[in-house]
Structure 1
Amino acid sequence: MDNATAPPHALELVFREDTALTEMMRLRVSSLQRSGQKRQDGERLLLPHEAVYRLDFPTQELHFSRWNFSLSAHGRVTITGISQHWTPDLTHLMTRQLLEPIGTFWRNANDPEETPLKWLEADMQEFGERIAELAKVRKVMYFLFAFKDGAEAANLSCSVEFSPEE
């Protein structure tokens, strides 16, 4: 969110949609619907306005610095971290694997375009620190992005900035 210039040693990681995993999760939903089956107890199915994104960590020793996001229209975006190491062909997403806090940022429909995005600063700070903690033991981490109130993936730019541990 901060427009300050990043330090030269900063590492900015961009969230990228994992289209294959998103599609696999959508197929699970449609398969259950076609067969008339119910989800497993505790299973978290992907909703139509959600997509799976990922962060790849080139190094594991990181300190959270700041979020960088922009939304070129109105809407609300929520980002939920997922604690599991993904093997989607073998395991379904379970609600117990969703991390707290979630990140939320938005622009109301009646806000002028130049109005800065609103966000829950304390939650976003804690969320960024949690991602840095998990990076210590991961090379990749997955997230659910939910687009609400008119937000669309095409209007979103989202990254998180870290500084290397000294």
Structure 2
Amino acid sequence: MSLKVAFRLDTQLTEMMRLRVQSLQQRGQKRQEGERLLQPNEAVYRLDFAHQSLSFSHWSVRLTQPGHLTITGTSQLWTPDLTHLMTRQLLEPTGVFWRGQGGPNTPVQSYEADAHEFGERIAELAKVRKVMYFLFAFAEGCSPETVDCSITFTVDS
């Protein structure tokens, strides 16, 4: 059985991370050693896993206009008190997807080996997690409104 899981924008967590940046700027403070602050072109997305025993199948990334999307997984388990995201909690490799100029039928490109390894890593983490968080970085005309992204797994029996 295959299972398609859509990445969902976590507006509350994205806003909390933006407030952290704003708070540091207003007080003239620097980030903590190793802390990873949210950039203006980034947002936090999440995957919710209904099943824990999964094998990666494929990515489904749709960019409605030319642009560049980078997806970085985090090993962070977010808590309501918002423990800060630290650089060491970012996973490698990242998923990099882009669509160049051309008509609406121009296919989305990716670094396939990295995207495949990233998908397998997500499936591994799903074995011990119900939720996983990601940083989506939008560039070159890409934005949350122009991206539709999901990942398909095979449910292991």
What is the TM-score normalised by the length of structure 2?
0.97
Structure-to-structure mapping, 1:116-131, within 5 angstroms: 116-131=107-122
Letter in 2 for 1:77: L
Secondary structure of the structure 2 residue equivalent to 1:30? helix
Deviation track 1:42-83 (CA, whole Å, cap 9, x = no partner) reads: 000000000000000011000111111100001000000000
Structure-to-structure mapping, 1:78-157, within 5 angstroms: 78-87=70-79, 89-108=81-100, 110-157=101-148
How far did 1:90 drift?
4.4
Matches of 1:143 and 1:59, distance apart in 2: 19
Aligned to 1:6: none
How far did 1:113 drift?
2.8
How far did 1:88 drift?
5.3
Letter in 1 for 2:25: Q
Letter in 2 for 1:74: P
Letter in 2 for 1:149: E
- CA RMSD, 1 decimal: 0.9
Aligned to 1:4: none
How far did 1:107 drift?
1.2
Matches of 1:63 and 1:45, distance apart in 2: 31
Alignment partner for residue 16 of structure 2, among 13, 16, 24? Answer: 24
Q: Percent identity?
A: 64
What is the TM-score normalised by the length of structure 1?
0.92
Q: Contact conserved, 1:21 with 1:88, CA < 8 A, in 2?
A: no
Secondary structure of the structure 2 residue equivalent to 1:39? coil
Q: Is there any run of 5+ residues in structure 1 with no aligned partner, and where? A: 1-8
Matches of 1:88 and 1:76, distance apart in 2: 31
Matches of 2:14 and 2:85, distance apart in 1: 12
Q: Tell me how many residue pairs correspond in the alignment.
A: 157
Matches of 1:133 and 1:97, distance apart in 2: 16
How far did 1:112 drift?
3.2
Matches of 1:134 and 1:150, distance apart in 2: 31
Secondary structure of the structure 2 residue equivalent to 1:37? coil
